[in-house]
């Protein structure tokens, strides 16, 4: 009561309430991205008819490009004026944050292009997909610039909550809702763990602000402080869930498989970018003095992710599940840079995130178009003969997969090389060796898809690849006597004979048809492949970019 009176009295006498100075340039890309989402949803509600996907895509692409331009302007500004901390110390405005904004803005741009074709094909109208994607992108960007644990948490939630909805977006597929629920329950669990970790760190250090925590830790010797270490462990668990590192990866195969394909690409790119950015900032810069405590744990998580990701992907039949385990494997690689906790390690991780963003979104763009109507063709058999039917699409997919495997002359090779070099730098030889071995194992499952694409569709081995689920799915079972010889025939004969014999196309005949690649998706795939190859051959610019971003780290 007395405080209320006091507030009223001071208000009456015109006492100023001091609000922090807000440097709008430091949050300009986030504002543009979030503003674009708000504008789009508001604009669409003003019209009587449902807004078409085309115009929503147009606005989204425009917003993403504006965000990118603002981020590039920021980069110029940071390089000339230096890094700083703004808005009462809660936002860091440095090369590191600008780097993440650029990565996320490009990811949003590519996803908008891919989603356009997907939404039209699936007959999902309205601007909501793009609105949610932009909101979640702004969350990832906020995580990149957050300089306070609670701001990281807010960014994490803006990112995740929009992604939960996006995962459920295709209401025609039962898997989509199931994926969303699994993602939601485990995501909410990990957020709660993360918040409790923040609470414990706050209690132990007296602040949730990262520089103040670092300051406290450098001035006070906190050997075996139980509360602080527990908080640190809980933060690591929270991050582990978001980056899908083993043993916190259980959600990711189901969620990757069930979500609409463009969403999976976006999820893989920006959730990793945002969460790794925050992880690097919290652990390397704030808890750097405690690295003896957390480095062994990150070491273990990295090894588990590398090994489990590579080996579990080998036995997957569904390509999106395989990509989920592949992304777990990639998380292990990026953790190599985190574990090193050196300038070299951080810049290697940043470079990896940039390269991975292009590779994974391009890969999911191809997966989106190959899946056809209903977003259901994700078996390896759906890729059989793609090299003959659509050589360019198959070539693009092969390049992206080989880049993920770490083939030379692609950004993927350089990304793997830099993180392993960073691990060797701090004498983590065991980790480096395991990483390279896991890359060799991983190459096997990427190559399996490439081989499938370039093998003829009518090969006798086809039937053995079809599992029971797929047999049930087709309108006419492939195993039924009428169709049994089909898979032994050459592909043209098979199509011809089937179109005469049956009305509903059986599975193998569907796989023979060309898939339609919308123009905008072609642009997105082209950009991904172009980036992966051009900057794989001329690595200088991006490596320097990532390195400079690290030097401008507050």
Partner 1 sequence: MIGAASALNGNISGEWYLALAAVLFAIGAFGLLIRRNVLVMFMCVELMLNAANLTFVTFANMLHDIGGQVLVFFVLVVAAAEVVVGLGIVVAIFRRRANATADDFHLMKG
Question: Which spans of this chain sit near partner 1 (rule: CB under 8 A)?
Answer: 150, 153-154, 157, 161, 164-165, 168, 171, 174-175, 177-182, 184-185, 188-189, 191-193, 195-196, 198-200, 202-203, 206-208, 253-254, 257-258, 315-318, 321
CB closer to partner 1 out of 122 and 157: 157
CB closer to partner 1 out of 208 and 349: 208
CB 264 within 8 A of CB 325: no
CB of 336 to partner 1, least distance (A): 27
CB of 385 to partner 1, least distance (A): 24
Residue 209 pairs in a beta bridge with 148
CB of 147 to partner 1, least distance (A): 14
φ/ψ of 91, rounded to 5, equals: -125, 130
CB of 162 to partner 1, least distance (A): 9
CB of 284 to partner 1, least distance (A): 23
3-class DSSP assignment, residue 123: coil
CB of 224 to partner 1, least distance (A): 18
Give the CA distances from residue 430 to residues 100, 284, 348, 424, in Å, rounded to whole numbers and listed in that order. Answer: 30, 21, 18, 9
Cα separation, 478 vs 263, whole angstroms: 31
CB 488 within 8 A of CB 458: yes
CB closer to partner 1 out of 174 and 501: 174
CB of 473 to partner 1, least distance (A): 12
Q: What secondary structure does DSSP assign to 433-450, as a single string?
A: HHHHHHHHHHHHHHHHHH
CB closer to partner 1 out of 180 and 334: 180
Cα separation, 100 vs 93, whole angstroms: 11
CB of 303 to partner 1, least distance (A): 23
CB closer to partner 1 out of 207 and 225: 207
CB closer to partner 1 out of 253 and 536: 253
DSSP run (H or E) holding 421: helix 411-425
CB 442 within 8 A of CB 357: no
Cα separation, 529 vs 515, whole angstroms: 19
CB closer to partner 1 out of 188 and 459: 188
CB 502 within 8 A of CB 377: no
CB closer to partner 1 out of 123 and 481: 123
CB closer to partner 1 out of 110 and 180: 180
CB closer to partner 1 out of 185 and 430: 185
Nearest to 92 by CA among 19, 136, 141: 141
Cα separation, 494 vs 515, whole angstroms: 17
Cα separation, 208 vs 217, whole angstroms: 13
CB 450 within 8 A of CB 398: yes
CB of 4 to partner 1, least distance (A): 16
Task: Strands of 269-403 (E only): list them.
Answer: none
CB closer to partner 1 out of 146 and 422: 146
CB of 175 to partner 1, least distance (A): 5
Question: 223-230 contacts: CB < 8 A, separation 24 or more?
Answer: 227/200, 227/203, 228/200, 228/201, 228/204, 228/290, 229/290, 229/293, 230/197, 230/200
Residue 84 pairs in a beta bridge with 93
CB of 167 to partner 1, least distance (A): 9
3-class DSSP assignment, residue 52: coil
3-class DSSP assignment, residue 230: helix
For residue 16, the 8-state DSSP code is: P
Cα separation, 534 vs 543, whole angstroms: 13
């Amino acid at each position: 009561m007395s405080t209320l009176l006091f507030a009223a009295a001071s208000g009456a006498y015109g006492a100023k309430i001091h609000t922090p100075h807000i440097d709008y340039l430091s949050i300009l890309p986030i504002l543009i991205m979030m503003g674009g989402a708000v504008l789009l949803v508001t604009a669409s509600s003003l019209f009587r008819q449902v807004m078409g996907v085309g115009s929503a895509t147009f606005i989204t692409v425009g917003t993403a490009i504006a965000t990118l331009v603002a981020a590039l302007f920021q980069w110029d500004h940071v390089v000339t004026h230096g890094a700083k901390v703004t808005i009462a110390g809660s936002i860091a405005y440095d090369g590191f944050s600008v780097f993440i904004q650029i990565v996320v803005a490009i990811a949003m741009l590519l996803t908008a292009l891919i989603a356009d074709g997907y939404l039209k094909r699936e007959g999902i109208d309205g601007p909501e997909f793009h609105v949610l994607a932009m909101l979640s992108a702004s969350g990832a960007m906020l995580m990149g610039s957050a300089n306070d644990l609670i701001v990281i948490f807010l960014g994490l939630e803006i990112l995740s909550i929009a992604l939960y909805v996006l995962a459920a977006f295709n209401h025609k597929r039962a898997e989509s809702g199931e994926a969303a629920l699994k993602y939601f329950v485990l995501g909410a669990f990990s957020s709660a763990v993360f918040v409790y970790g923040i609470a414990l760190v706050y209690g132990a250090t007296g602040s949730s602000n990262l520089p103040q925590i670092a300051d406290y830790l450098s001035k006070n010797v906190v050997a075996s402080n139980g509360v602080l270490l527990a908080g640190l462990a809980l933060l690591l668990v929270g991050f582990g869930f978001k980056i899908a590192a083993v043993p916190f990866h259980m959600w990711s195969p189901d969620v990757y498989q069930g979500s609409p394909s463009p969403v999976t690409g976006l999820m893989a790119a920006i959730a990793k970018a945002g969460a790794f950015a925050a992880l690097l900032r919290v652990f390397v810069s704030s808890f750097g003095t405690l690295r003896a405590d957390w480095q062994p744990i990150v070491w273990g998580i990295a090894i588990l992710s590398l090994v489990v990701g590579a080996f579990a992907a080998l036995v997957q039949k569904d390509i999106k599940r395989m990509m989920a385990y592949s992304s777990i494997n990639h998380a292990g690689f990026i953790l190599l840079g985190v574990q090193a906790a050196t300038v070299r390690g951080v810049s290697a991780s940043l470079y990896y995130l940039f390269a991975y963003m292009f590779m994974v979104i391009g890969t999911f763009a191809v997966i989106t178009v190959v899946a056809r109507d209903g977003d259901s063709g994700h078996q390896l058999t759906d890729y059989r003969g793609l090299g003959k039917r659509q050589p360019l699409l198959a070539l693009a997919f092969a390049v992206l997969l080989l880049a993920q495997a770490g083939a030379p002359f692609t950004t993927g090779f350089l990304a793997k090389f830099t993180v392993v070099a960073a691990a060797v730098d701090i004498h983590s030889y065991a980790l480096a060796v395991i990483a390279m071995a896991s890359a060799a194992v991983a190459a096997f499952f990427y190559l399996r898809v490439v081989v499938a694409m370039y093998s003829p569709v009518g090969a006798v081995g086809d039937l053995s690849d079809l599992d029971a689920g797929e047999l049930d799915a087709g309108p006419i079972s492939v195993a039924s006597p009428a169709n049994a010889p089909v898979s032994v025939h050459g592909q043209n004969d098979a199509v011809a004979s089937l179109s005469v014999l049956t009305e509903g196309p059986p599975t193998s005949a569907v796989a023979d048809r060309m898939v339609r690649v919308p123009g905008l998706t072609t642009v997105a795939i082209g950009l991904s492949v172009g980036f992966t190859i051009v900057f794989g051959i001329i690595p200088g610019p991006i490596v320097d970019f990532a390195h400079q971003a690290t030097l401008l780290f507050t």
